[in-house]
Protein backbone atom coordinates (compact mmCIF):
# COMPACT_ATOMS: atom_id res chain seq x y z
CA UNK A 1 0.00 0.00 0.00
CA UNK A 2 1.63 3.24 -1.18
CA UNK A 3 1.27 6.83 -0.04
CA UNK A 4 -0.78 8.94 -2.45
CA UNK A 5 -1.30 12.26 -0.69
CA UNK A 6 2.33 12.58 0.33
CA UNK A 7 4.91 12.68 -2.46
CA UNK A 8 8.62 13.56 -2.35
CA UNK A 9 9.43 17.25 -2.72
CA UNK A 10 11.76 18.03 -5.62
CA UNK A 11 14.63 20.50 -5.66
CA UNK A 12 14.19 23.65 -7.70
CA UNK A 13 17.35 23.25 -9.74
CA UNK A 14 16.09 25.33 -12.67
CA UNK A 15 15.22 28.28 -10.46
CA UNK A 16 18.62 28.20 -8.76
CA UNK A 17 20.43 27.98 -12.10
CA UNK A 18 18.58 30.88 -13.69
CA UNK A 19 19.10 33.14 -10.72
CA UNK A 20 22.27 34.31 -9.05
CA UNK A 21 22.51 32.65 -5.60
CA UNK A 22 22.94 36.04 -3.91
CA UNK A 23 19.83 37.31 -5.70
CA UNK A 24 17.86 34.29 -4.45
CA UNK A 25 19.14 34.81 -0.91
CA UNK A 26 18.28 38.51 -0.93
CA UNK A 27 14.85 37.77 -2.39
CA UNK A 28 14.13 35.32 0.44
CA UNK A 29 15.30 37.88 3.01
CA UNK A 30 12.94 40.47 1.54
CA UNK A 31 10.06 37.99 1.64
CA UNK A 32 10.78 37.25 5.31
CA UNK A 33 10.60 40.96 6.14
CA UNK A 34 7.08 41.08 4.70
CA UNK A 35 5.88 38.11 6.71
CA UNK A 36 3.97 38.84 9.89
CA UNK A 37 3.96 35.32 11.34
CA UNK A 38 5.97 34.15 14.36
CA UNK A 39 8.11 31.95 12.11
CA UNK A 40 8.75 31.91 8.38
CA UNK A 41 6.20 30.45 5.98
CA UNK A 42 8.74 27.75 5.04
CA UNK A 43 8.86 26.60 8.66
CA UNK A 44 5.09 26.15 8.78
CA UNK A 45 5.31 24.33 5.44
CA UNK A 46 7.70 21.81 7.02
CA UNK A 47 5.39 21.37 10.00
CA UNK A 48 2.42 20.96 7.66
CA UNK A 49 4.22 18.22 5.66
CA UNK A 50 5.04 16.27 8.82
CA UNK A 51 1.45 16.45 10.05
CA UNK A 52 0.08 15.50 6.63
CA UNK A 53 2.36 12.45 6.54
CA UNK A 54 1.16 11.30 9.98
CA UNK A 55 -2.47 11.76 8.90
CA UNK A 56 -2.03 9.59 5.80
CA UNK A 57 -0.05 6.95 7.69
CA UNK A 58 -2.88 6.82 10.22
CA UNK A 59 -5.42 6.52 7.39
CA UNK A 60 -3.48 3.62 5.84
CA UNK A 61 -2.74 1.90 9.14
CA UNK A 62 1.00 2.61 8.95
CA UNK A 63 1.22 4.75 12.08
CA UNK A 64 2.38 1.99 14.44
CA UNK A 65 5.12 1.10 11.96
CA UNK A 66 6.67 4.56 12.24
CA UNK A 67 5.64 6.37 15.43
CA UNK A 68 4.43 3.53 17.62
CA UNK A 69 1.51 4.27 19.92
CA UNK A 70 1.60 8.05 19.42
CA UNK A 71 -1.72 9.44 18.20
CA UNK A 72 -2.50 12.88 16.79
CA UNK A 73 -3.69 15.34 19.42
CA UNK A 74 -6.80 16.39 17.50
CA UNK A 75 -7.87 18.84 20.18
CA UNK A 76 -4.60 20.75 19.81
CA UNK A 77 -4.91 20.79 16.02
CA UNK A 78 -8.65 21.48 15.82
CA UNK A 79 -8.13 24.94 14.28
CA UNK A 80 -5.90 23.46 11.58
CA UNK A 81 -8.86 21.53 10.08
CA UNK A 82 -7.14 18.16 9.73
CA UNK A 83 -9.27 17.08 6.76
CA UNK A 84 -7.94 20.10 4.86
CA UNK A 85 -4.37 19.32 5.92
CA UNK A 86 -4.70 15.82 4.51
CA UNK A 87 -6.44 16.71 1.26
CA UNK A 88 -5.18 20.16 0.26
CA UNK A 89 -1.81 21.44 -0.86
CA UNK A 90 -0.02 23.62 1.66
CA UNK A 91 -0.56 26.78 -0.35
CA UNK A 92 -4.33 26.30 -0.57
CA UNK A 93 -4.49 25.46 3.12
CA UNK A 94 -2.25 28.38 4.07
CA UNK A 95 -4.58 30.94 2.47
CA UNK A 96 -7.35 30.10 4.92
CA UNK A 97 -5.24 29.32 8.00
CA UNK A 98 -2.40 31.83 7.93
CA UNK A 99 -4.05 33.99 10.60
CA UNK A 100 -3.46 31.22 13.16
CA UNK A 101 0.27 31.97 13.08
CA UNK A 102 0.32 35.74 12.64
CA UNK A 103 1.80 38.10 15.21
CA UNK A 104 -0.46 40.89 16.51
CA UNK A 105 -0.21 44.09 14.47
CA UNK A 106 -1.51 47.63 14.67
CA UNK A 107 -4.25 48.45 12.19
CA UNK A 108 -6.13 51.57 11.24
CA UNK A 109 -9.91 51.38 11.56
CA UNK A 110 -12.66 53.79 10.58
CA UNK A 111 -14.49 53.29 13.87
CA UNK A 112 -15.21 50.84 16.65
CA UNK A 113 -18.30 49.46 14.99
CA UNK A 114 -18.02 45.70 14.75
CA UNK A 115 -15.03 45.54 17.08
CA UNK A 116 -15.29 43.47 20.24
CA UNK A 117 -13.52 45.09 23.23
CA UNK A 118 -10.80 42.82 24.62
CA UNK A 119 -8.39 43.26 27.55
CA UNK A 120 -5.36 43.24 25.24
CA UNK A 121 -6.68 46.06 22.99
CA UNK A 122 -6.18 49.76 23.69
CA UNK A 123 -7.86 52.40 21.59
CA UNK A 124 -6.22 55.79 20.99
CA UNK A 125 -8.01 58.64 19.27
CA UNK A 126 -5.84 60.71 16.93
CA UNK A 127 -6.83 64.15 15.69
CA UNK A 128 -5.50 64.41 12.13
CA UNK A 129 -5.70 68.22 12.27
CA UNK A 130 -2.52 68.06 14.32
CA UNK A 131 0.90 67.84 12.70
CA UNK A 132 2.90 64.62 12.61
CA UNK A 133 5.22 65.57 15.48
CA UNK A 134 2.38 66.32 17.88
CA UNK A 135 0.45 63.20 16.86
CA UNK A 136 3.51 61.02 17.42
CA UNK A 137 4.16 62.67 20.79
CA UNK A 138 0.57 62.10 21.89
CA UNK A 139 0.59 58.43 20.86
CA UNK A 140 3.85 57.78 22.70
CA UNK A 141 2.49 59.47 25.82
CA UNK A 142 -0.61 57.31 25.59
CA UNK A 143 1.55 54.18 25.64
CA UNK A 144 4.13 55.41 28.13
CA UNK A 145 2.82 53.18 30.94
CA UNK A 146 3.80 50.12 28.88
CA UNK A 147 7.49 51.04 28.88
CA UNK A 148 8.47 48.86 31.86
CA UNK A 149 5.48 46.52 31.78
CA UNK A 150 6.18 42.79 31.51
CA UNK A 151 4.07 41.51 28.65
CA UNK A 152 4.00 37.82 27.92
CA UNK A 153 3.10 36.97 24.33
CA UNK A 154 1.74 33.45 24.09
CA UNK A 155 2.18 31.60 20.83
CA UNK A 156 0.33 28.29 20.79
CA UNK A 157 2.25 26.83 17.84
CA UNK A 158 5.87 26.87 19.00
CA UNK A 159 8.81 25.70 16.88
CA UNK A 160 11.92 24.36 18.62
CA UNK A 161 15.23 25.41 17.11
CA UNK A 162 15.86 26.69 13.61
CA UNK A 163 14.90 24.06 11.00
CA UNK A 164 17.26 23.69 8.05
CA UNK A 165 14.90 23.45 5.10
CA UNK A 166 16.81 21.01 2.86
CA UNK A 167 17.61 18.75 5.80
CA UNK A 168 13.97 18.56 6.91
CA UNK A 169 12.73 17.96 3.35
CA UNK A 170 15.34 15.22 2.91
CA UNK A 171 14.06 13.40 6.01
CA UNK A 172 10.50 13.68 4.76
CA UNK A 173 11.41 12.47 1.26
CA UNK A 174 13.43 9.50 2.49
CA UNK A 175 10.68 8.28 4.80
CA UNK A 176 8.02 8.68 2.08
CA UNK A 177 10.18 6.69 -0.35
CA UNK A 178 10.93 3.94 2.17
CA UNK A 179 7.24 3.63 3.07
CA UNK A 180 6.67 3.18 -0.67
CA UNK A 181 9.22 0.32 -0.60
CA UNK A 182 11.90 1.99 -2.71
CA UNK A 183 15.33 0.37 -2.47
CA UNK A 184 18.20 2.17 -0.75
CA UNK A 185 19.90 2.71 -4.11
CA UNK A 186 16.73 4.15 -5.69
CA UNK A 187 16.33 6.50 -2.72
CA UNK A 188 19.95 7.58 -3.09
CA UNK A 189 19.68 8.20 -6.83
CA UNK A 190 16.53 10.29 -6.30
CA UNK A 191 17.88 12.30 -3.35
CA UNK A 192 21.55 12.73 -4.32
CA UNK A 193 21.10 16.47 -4.74
CA UNK A 194 19.85 17.11 -1.23
CA UNK A 195 22.16 14.52 0.32
CA UNK A 196 25.09 16.43 -1.16
CA UNK A 197 23.73 19.77 0.09
CA UNK A 198 23.19 18.49 3.63
CA UNK A 199 26.26 16.27 4.06
CA UNK A 200 28.69 16.94 6.88
CA UNK A 201 32.26 16.17 5.75
CA UNK A 202 34.62 14.41 8.14
CA UNK A 203 37.11 16.53 10.08
CA UNK A 204 39.88 14.01 9.53
CA UNK A 205 41.79 15.13 6.44
CA UNK A 206 42.93 11.56 5.85
CA UNK A 207 39.39 10.82 4.69
CA UNK A 208 39.73 13.42 1.95
CA UNK A 209 41.14 13.21 -1.55
CA UNK A 210 43.45 15.44 -3.53
CA UNK A 211 41.65 17.76 -5.95
CA UNK A 212 42.88 18.86 -9.37
CA UNK A 213 44.57 21.90 -7.84
CA UNK A 214 46.31 19.94 -5.09
CA UNK A 215 43.95 20.76 -2.18
CA UNK A 216 42.44 18.18 0.12
CA UNK A 217 38.69 17.89 -0.39
CA UNK A 218 36.88 16.59 2.69
CA UNK A 219 34.12 14.10 2.13
CA UNK A 220 31.86 11.94 4.27
CA UNK A 221 32.12 8.16 4.41
CA UNK A 222 29.08 7.87 2.17
CA UNK A 223 30.45 10.07 -0.59
CA UNK A 224 33.95 8.61 -0.31
CA UNK A 225 32.57 5.08 -0.79
CA UNK A 226 30.22 6.29 -3.55
CA UNK A 227 33.13 7.79 -5.46
CA UNK A 228 34.97 4.45 -5.34
CA UNK A 229 31.75 2.65 -6.29
CA UNK A 230 31.32 4.84 -9.38
CA UNK A 231 34.91 4.17 -10.43
CA UNK A 232 33.91 0.55 -11.02
CA UNK A 233 32.58 -0.45 -14.41
CA UNK A 234 28.72 -0.57 -14.45
CA UNK A 235 28.76 -4.36 -14.71
CA UNK A 236 30.99 -4.56 -11.62
CA UNK A 237 28.70 -2.54 -9.32
CA UNK A 238 27.16 -5.60 -7.73
CA UNK A 239 28.26 -8.35 -5.37
CA UNK A 240 30.13 -11.08 -7.20
CA UNK A 241 29.32 -14.62 -6.01
CA UNK A 242 31.67 -17.50 -6.61
CA UNK A 243 30.91 -21.24 -6.69
CA UNK A 244 32.83 -23.76 -4.65
CA UNK A 245 32.60 -27.56 -4.82
CA UNK A 246 31.27 -29.23 -1.68
CA UNK A 247 33.44 -31.74 0.14
CA UNK A 248 30.57 -34.19 0.66
CA UNK A 249 30.38 -36.36 -2.44
CA UNK A 250 26.87 -37.63 -1.63
CA UNK A 251 25.23 -34.16 -1.56
CA UNK A 252 22.80 -33.63 -4.47
CA UNK A 253 23.99 -30.06 -4.86
CA UNK A 254 27.67 -30.41 -5.58
CA UNK A 255 28.44 -26.66 -5.43
CA UNK A 256 27.81 -23.87 -2.94
CA UNK A 257 28.14 -20.13 -3.48
CA UNK A 258 30.11 -17.69 -1.36
CA UNK A 259 31.19 -14.05 -1.55
CA UNK A 260 34.94 -13.79 -2.06
CA UNK A 261 36.88 -10.90 -0.52
CA UNK A 262 37.89 -9.22 -3.75
CA UNK A 263 38.21 -5.43 -4.27
CA UNK A 264 34.93 -5.27 -6.21
CA UNK A 265 32.92 -6.84 -3.40
CA UNK A 266 34.63 -4.79 -0.69
CA UNK A 267 33.85 -1.52 -2.49
CA UNK A 268 30.24 -2.45 -3.27
CA UNK A 269 29.52 -3.66 0.25
CA UNK A 270 31.14 -0.63 1.84
CA UNK A 271 29.02 1.77 -0.23
CA UNK A 272 25.75 -0.07 0.47
CA UNK A 273 26.60 -0.32 4.17
CA UNK A 274 27.32 3.42 4.43
CA UNK A 275 24.16 4.18 2.47
CA UNK A 276 22.03 1.99 4.77
CA UNK A 277 23.53 3.68 7.84
CA UNK A 278 22.82 7.14 6.45
CA UNK A 279 19.22 6.32 5.47
CA UNK A 280 18.57 4.76 8.89
CA UNK A 281 19.92 7.87 10.58
CA UNK A 282 17.58 10.17 8.67
CA UNK A 283 14.56 7.90 9.17
CA UNK A 284 15.20 7.48 12.90
CA UNK A 285 15.61 11.20 13.45
CA UNK A 286 12.44 11.96 11.51
CA UNK A 287 10.50 9.34 13.46
CA UNK A 288 11.25 11.24 16.66
CA UNK A 289 10.19 14.52 15.04
CA UNK A 290 6.91 12.97 13.88
CA UNK A 291 6.21 11.73 17.40
CA UNK A 292 6.57 15.31 18.62
CA UNK A 293 4.40 16.67 15.80
CA UNK A 294 1.62 14.25 16.71
CA UNK A 295 1.54 15.93 20.13
CA UNK A 296 1.70 19.48 18.76
CA UNK A 297 5.46 19.96 19.17
CA UNK A 298 7.48 20.59 16.03
CA UNK A 299 11.12 19.51 15.97
CA UNK A 300 11.50 18.02 19.43
CA UNK A 301 13.65 15.35 17.78
CA UNK A 302 15.43 12.74 19.86
CA UNK A 303 13.82 13.87 23.11
CA UNK A 304 10.51 12.34 22.03
CA UNK A 305 10.26 8.60 22.64
CA UNK A 306 8.77 6.36 19.98
| 205-237 per-position pLDDT tens digit | 444 544 444 444 567 899 999 999 999 999 999
> Could you tell me where the DSSP H helices lie in the chain?
13-18, 21-34, 41-60, 63-67, 82-87, 90-97, 132-142, 165-179, 184-198, 221-231, 263-294
Q: How confident is the model at residue 6 (pLDDT cuts 50, 70, 90)?
A: very high
pLDDT attached to residue 251: 57
pLDDT at 253: 64
Which carries the bigger pLDDT value, residue 130 or residue 34? 130
Lowest mean pLDDT among 23-32, 178-187, 214-223, 265-274: 23-32
Summarize the confidence of residues 78-104 as an average pLDDT: 93
Q: Would you list the domain boundaries of the chain? A: 13-102+156-232+269-303
The confidence band for 83, taking pLDDT boundaries of 50, 70 and 90, is very high
DSSP string computed for 88-103:
S-HHHHHHHHGGGGBP
DSSP letters, 263-280, are: HHHHHHHHHHHHHHHHHH
Average pLDDT of the segment spanning 177-193: 96
Lowest pLDDT segment from 76-85, 92-101, 226-235, 293-302: 293-302
Q: CA-CA distance, 99 to 296, in Å (whole number)? A: 18
Q: Indicate the pLDDT class of residue 27, thresholds 50, 70 and 90.
A: low
pLDDT at 214: 43
Residue 57, pLDDT score:
95
Mean pLDDT of 170-195: 96
Task: Name the more confident of 139 and 235.
Answer: 235
pLDDT at 203 > cutoff 60: no
Most confident of 34-48, 155-169, 268-282: 268-282
- Per-residue pLDDT band for 295 (boundaries 50, 70, 90) equals very high
Element (H, E) at 217: strand 216-217
Exposed (0-12), middle (13-18) or buried (19+): which is 168, by Cβ within 10 Å?
A: buried
204 compared with 177, residue with greater pLDDT:
177
Main-chain phi, psi angles of 43, to 5 degrees: -65, -40
- pLDDT band for position 247 (cuts 50, 70, 90): low
pTM for this structure? Answer: 0.78
At residue 156, the 3 state secondary structure works out as coil
Assess contact for 111 and 29: CB atoms under 8 A. Answer: no
pLDDT at 274: 97
Indicate whether 161 pLDDT > 90: no
Question: What is the structure's pLDDT at 143?
Answer: 82
What pLDDT sits at residue 197? 84
pLDDT class for 77, splitting at 50, 70, 90?
very high
The full length of the chain comes to 306
Amino acid sequence: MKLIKNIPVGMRYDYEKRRNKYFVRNLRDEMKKKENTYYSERTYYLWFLSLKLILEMEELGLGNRVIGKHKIDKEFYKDWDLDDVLNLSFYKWWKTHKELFETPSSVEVGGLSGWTPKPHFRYLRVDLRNNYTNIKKGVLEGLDDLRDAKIEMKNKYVVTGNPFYDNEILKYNILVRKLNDESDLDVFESEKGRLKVTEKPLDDKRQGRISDIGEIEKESKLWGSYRKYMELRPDKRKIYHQKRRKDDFWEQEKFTTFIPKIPQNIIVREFHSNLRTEINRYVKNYQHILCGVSQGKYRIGKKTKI
